[in-house]
Amino acid sequence: MPVDLLLVAACALVDVDGRVLISQRPANKAMAGLWEFPGGKVEKGERPEDALIRELKEELGITVREACLAPLAFASHSYPDFHLLMPLYVCRRWEGIPTPREGQRLAWVRPNRLRDYAMPPADEPLVAHLMALL
């Protein structure tokens, strides 16, 4: 049976102290209350890097250059209504201060504490990659 494929780009913003920024999904969205890596849907005809640059500007008010996005891993997860494919990039340099612009909460978390935050099933396997990197 064919399934819809959803492409979402995500980013692990890493600060100078080695902490990773995660955001909590607001009450009006699916999987509300769960923590995730910032990012969003890749629109038709858009590259994942461009989508991430756009989403980080919209969600957090920061400017990221493509040269600062390093691909780390990807998630491939089947949900009941669609299959999610999500590349995860790491970014250590950006302009501006990450500020919640869509009603979400933000947290800077040490990699070894990321498992203390409930995440969507697709995000969970990515934590091990971050822990190994950082």
All structural domains of the chain, each given as residue ranges with its CATH number in brackets, are: 5-133 (3.90.79.10)
Residue 1 reports pLDDT greater than 70? no
Residue 2 reports pLDDT greater than 70? yes
**What are 74-131's pLDDT values in tens digits?**
999 999 999 999 999 999 999 999 999 988 999 999 999 999 999 999 999 999 999 9
Q: Which two tokens stand for residue 12?
A: 């692990």
Q: How far, in Å, CA of 23 to CA of 25, rounded? A: 6
pTM for the predicted model, two decimal places: 0.94
Q: Please provide the distance, in angstroms rounded to a whole number, between the alpha carbons at the two ends of the chain.
A: 40
Give me the residue label for tokens 């038709």.
44
pLDDT band at residue 45, thresholds of 50, 70 and 90?
very high
Residue 134 reports pLDDT greater than 90? no
CA 97 to chain centroid: 17
Q: Which amino acid is at 18?
A: G
Contacts of residue 87, Cβ cutoff 8 Å, sequence gap at least 6: 9, 10, 48, 71, 73, 74
Tell me, what's the pLDDT at 3?
A: 85
